[in-house]
A and B are shown apart, each in its own frame.
Chain A
Amino acid sequence: MMKKKPDTKPDTDLTAFFDAAKDADAQPTAAFMEAVLADAMNQTQTRTQSTQRSAPTQPWWAGLFRNIGGWQSAAALTASAFLGITAGYAAPSALDYFGNTQTTAETYSDDSFSVASDIEALFQEG
């Protein structure tokens, strides 16, 4: 008959030792806790200072400039505004081009819409 292997229970056997180790936990000293807290405060201070250094206060127009899309957009906007103002102040003589064209009224004279005359002509031609 085979001998049964002894059933070792290290968990149970060592429990008293582990419990003793838990009981032996010494509380952290006040000096240690203060040192940890001081590190936390120093980190906050360091972070605040570096944030201030990396982000200097900008004038109001810098934000506006960025919001409209940078220098390309600003240049296009300025050019459009300039052209608009120029067109508004320019002498009417400069707009002769429009004087030489037919007005809408001339283009669409009464005759153009006269369907009756067209039909009359059709009958005459057979």
Chain B
Amino acid sequence: MALDAMNDVSDDALMVLYANGDTQAARALTYRHAPRVLALSRRLLQNTAEAEDVAQDAMLRLWKVAPNWRQGEAKVSTWLYRITSNLCIDRMRKKKGTNLDEIPELVDDKPSIESRMQSNDRATALQAAMAQLPARQKLAVTLRHIEELSNPQIAQIMDISVDAVESLTARGKRTLAGLLLGQKEKLGLE
């Protein structure tokens, strides 16, 4: 089956196909989920090499669980976000605080125009501010405001209540606001 033909196939069905040895199903699952898993781990770890390592590990766990995947119990995306979050939090806790100077600037390969530069500066500023947050606040804010997941989805991923998610994101945003709003003028926001 061609990869395009897999676009309408559900994740659950792709898992069954992959477990039965269908390589196109593996390809479809990879293209559907690996970029999102990598983006989340890159945001949380702020290091591309480490993020790729974690994302590959999360995807490997998906391949391993495929033959025992229980259809309808959990969404593949939610399951992957949960695994990725846990792997990232483990690494973040091991690192115990990152020096702000170590945070790499986001590099954009596209032609640099003023607005792109400003956008890059804002993203870098946010990244630096996010590094100040405790691991779980950082995860909750990332899932809510960058990955744009709903609070119940985040609660499922983090294995906490919706109230706890709201509390984590509120505290995280308060800290971020304190760190970032003073830089608004510098970043072309006023």
User: Which A residues contact B (CB, under 8 angstroms)?
Assistant: 8, 10-11, 13-14, 16-29, 32-33, 35-37, 39-41, 43-44, 47-48
The reply to whether B64 and A43 form a contact with Cβ atoms under 8 Å apart is: yes
| A40 near B63: Cβ-Cβ < 8 Å | yes
Interface residues of B (CB under 8 A from A): 18, 21, 23, 26-27, 29-31, 34-35, 38-39, 42-43, 48, 52, 55-56, 59-60, 63-64, 66-67, 106-108, 118-123, 125-127, 129, 145-146, 173-174, 176-177, 180-181, 184, 187, 189
CB of A28 within 8 A of CB of B108, answer no
Count chain B CB atoms within 10 A of each CB in A18, A23, A29 and give the residue with the most.
A18
- How many Cβ-Cβ contacts under 8 Å join chain A to chain B? 106
- Chain B interface main SS type: helix
Chain B residues near A36: list those with CB within 8 A.
30, 34, 55-56, 59
Cβ contacts A to B, 29 pairs, < 8 Å: A10-B176, A11-B173, A13-B184, A16-B122, A17-B123, A17-B129, A19-B119, A20-B118, A20-B119, A23-B119, A24-B106, A24-B123, A26-B106, A26-B107, A28-B34, A28-B35, A29-B52, A32-B52, A33-B30, A33-B31, A36-B34, A36-B55, A36-B56, A37-B30, A39-B59, A43-B60, A43-B64, A44-B26, A48-B21
B63 CB contacts on chain A under 8 angstroms: 39-40, 43-44
B26 contacts A40, CB within 8 Å?
yes
Which 4 pairs show the lowest CB-CB distances between chains A and B?
A20-B122, A40-B26, A24-B123, A43-B63
Cα(A17)–Cα(B181), bound, Å: 10
Report whether A39 and B31 are in contact in the complex, using a CB–CB cutoff of 8 Å: no
